[in-house]
A and B are shown apart, each in its own frame.
Chain A
Amino acid sequence: MAVDLSVRIGSLVLKNPILTASGTFGYGTEYSEYFDPSRLGGIVTKTITLEPRAGNPMPRIAETPAGMLNSIGLANVGVERYIAEKLPLLERLDTAVITNVAGNTADEFGALIRRLDGLGRIDAFEINISCPNLKKDGLAFGMDAEATRDVVRRVRSETDKTVIVKLTPNVTDIVSVAQAAVEAGADALSLINTVLGMRVDIETRRPVLARITGGLSGPAIKPIALAKLFQVKRSIGVPLIGIGGIMTTGDALEFFFTGATAVQVGTLNFIDPSGSVSILAGLVRWCEDRNISSFSSIIGTLVLESPSKP
């Protein structure tokens, strides 16, 4: 029995719900030696900015228990080289291309989308309002509902393509930011971006990262991601894309049950470049074993009431 794995995110239909997370899969073809990216539901590119960025000073990665910190600082070739050199490489891939973008101001977000909107290979945009490494002290647009509203409005006014807004967990009330994004026109939300974190070298008493703080990712943040997803799912109607420490099919299922329409695999790519398709294969087997013909029927099926007594 063939399992129908397709899901809909805004106007975009994904052939399956397994995507790669921004910053962990390059511009989309870097891991082609390890597996065919066309097997994925979609790839989310590394964050693209108007100007090229070399990124933050070194050291910019550190390992933590079941996690890693990064302060790469959105190193990327800039939008023009992305269009000229990177996007054409994706032409032959049979998978959705979701271009992740970030700007320093709402105007910059608008300018980026205006530049990219006409390019047919881009299926959707993911709006990075949540990278903790762009500004001092980990601040981001996504920490403020009104700043989020401004950015998403500008983006919405420039494109009819599917707009996914990526949320930060580094806020007191993620639901209010999610609401602002949806009111301003977001078709879907992805969550969570990395959790602000830090490590100290006890020999030198110095922070391990040159930028002091960075973004924590990996299995360590999965429980945080699930709780944030649960909170947002309760009050928001648009499709949600789960991100945070997904290493196995079981991890992905936790997100699907909690309400994610799709998931993004991130840090796992660094350890097992083809880990995302292993998760996909496991998901197909899981559905087949249970005679589930349509994957989407399992989304949001979390059981909350206590078991009934016989």
Chain B
Amino acid sequence: MSNLGGSMKIRIVSCRIISQESITERIRRMVLQAPEIAREAKPGQFLHVRVHPSWDPLLRRPFSIHAADGNTGRIVLLYRVIGKGTEFLRSLGEGDSVDAMGPLGNGFHLGRNLSPALVIAGGLGSAPAFFLISRLLETGRPVTFLWGTRSAAEIFGLDRFRAEGVDIRLATDDGSLGRAGTVTGLLKEFLKEKKSLENLEGFVCGPKPMLAAVQALAGGMPFPVQACLEERMACGTGVCQGCAVKMRSGSLGMVCSDGPVFPLEEVDFGG
């Protein structure tokens, strides 16, 4: 615990790992005990996790919060094993601890809007999307969920949402489940078949190229869309200015502290 100032908000906590499991060979699901964070967390926010106690790898890794339960004090993170840091994270087991900073960033703005929600996720965009869908369902909003991944193996955890009446449509790059191709194909279909789009509110989570493809369809989306961006970060708090993203206004936004959620139409993905 690095809270030395007394009255300061506690922001860095050592979290015990409750469990870790593989969803695919590379995608991992990690459950942490972190009551303060679980109480506060909002969909779209992230934890900045120190993956290794040494200085190599040096920087924290940002992970979107996949689920948070204030009652049990538990937080779920999803991550893809891609390098030294996540390899080490994979090796940790029940009872080990990780040092986590957060919740950081601004989550989705949910307000009092009770209109039907369209949630679009590409790949591990499911990490924030699942948390978001849970909260949308809690307020009784009808949810359509479009999700594209590489293959059927990367599709998981949908039974709960199906049981709650979420309209789920899937796409896989290799065609092993759902529509063959990307999630933008699903989105085109959806936009074509829906008669009244004006009432909708859109939410999109995923890698930048996918967000850019969704933005390119904006002409067919006469409703507001919030986008949750992924970016490499150093500090996670807006200080280092490393995770800047260009805005169409010409200014820069920091994904960590101005985002990671931005109005989709404001982001300049060409930059």
Contacts and interface: CB of A to CB of B under 8 A. Distances in A.
A72 B233 CA distance: 12
Interface string A69-91: 01010010000000000000000
6 contacts: A23-B240, A34-B11, A59-B232, A269-B239, A270-B59, A278-B4
B162 interface: no
A93 to B, nearest CB: 12
A34 B239 CA distance: 13
Contacts of A31: 237, 239
Interface string B235-256: 1111111111110000110000
Q: In terms of DSSP, what is the predominant structure of the interface of chain A?
A: loop
Contacts of A36: 4-5, 8
Contacts of A272: 2, 12
Contacts of B3: 34-35, 274
A282 interface: no
Nearest to B6: A36
A61 interface: yes
A57 interface: yes
Contacts of B156: none
Interface string A227-266: 0000000000000000000010000000000000000000
A264 to B, nearest CB: 15
Contacts of B101: 273
Contact of B8 (A35, A59, A269): A35
Nearest to A65: B56
B12 A24 contact: no
A242 B69 CA distance: 45
B58 A67 contact: yes
Q: In terms of DSSP, what is the predominant structure of the interface of chain B?
A: loop
A63 B239 CA distance: 17
A212 B251 CA distance: 22
Interface string B5-47: 1001101100000000000000000000000000000000000
B236 to A, nearest CB: 8
B246 A219 contact: no
A33 B234 contact: no
Given A31-B237, A61-B234, 14 more contacts: A24-B239, A24-B240, A31-B239, A33-B8, A33-B9, A60-B244, A72-B240, A72-B241, A75-B244, A218-B55, A218-B58, A267-B58, A270-B60, A274-B12
A171 interface: no
Given A35-B5, A35-B8, A271 B58 contact: yes
Contact of A270 (B57, B234, B251, B271): B234
B239 A30 contact: yes
A26 interface: yes
A63 B8 CA distance: 30
Contacts of B60: 270-271
A277 interface: yes
A302 interface: no
Nearest to A219: B55
Contacts of A34: 2-3, 5, 8, 11-12
A66 B56 contact: yes
A25 B234 CA distance: 13
A55 interface: yes
A72 B239 CA distance: 11
A226 interface: no
A89 B243 CA distance: 25
B239 A270 contact: yes
Contacts of A269: 235, 239
Contacts of B239: 24-26, 30-31, 269-270
A26 B2 CA distance: 19
A270 B233 CA distance: 10
A63 B55 contact: no
A270 B59 CA distance: 8
Interface in A17-63: 23-26, 30-36, 39, 54-55, 57-63
Nearest to A55: B241
Contacts of B66: none
B59 A58 contact: no
A98 interface: no
B240 A30 contact: no
B252 A55 contact: yes
Given A35-B4, A36-B5, A58-B271, A30 B56 contact: no
A66 B55 contact: yes
Contacts of B238: 26, 30
A165 interface: no
A163 interface: no
Contacts of B90: none
Contacts of A39: 4
A267 B2 CA distance: 17
Closest 6 pairs between A and B when the two form their complex, measured CB to CB: A61-B242, A270-B235, A66-B56, A36-B5, A274-B2, A219-B55
B74 interface: no
A30 B237 contact: yes
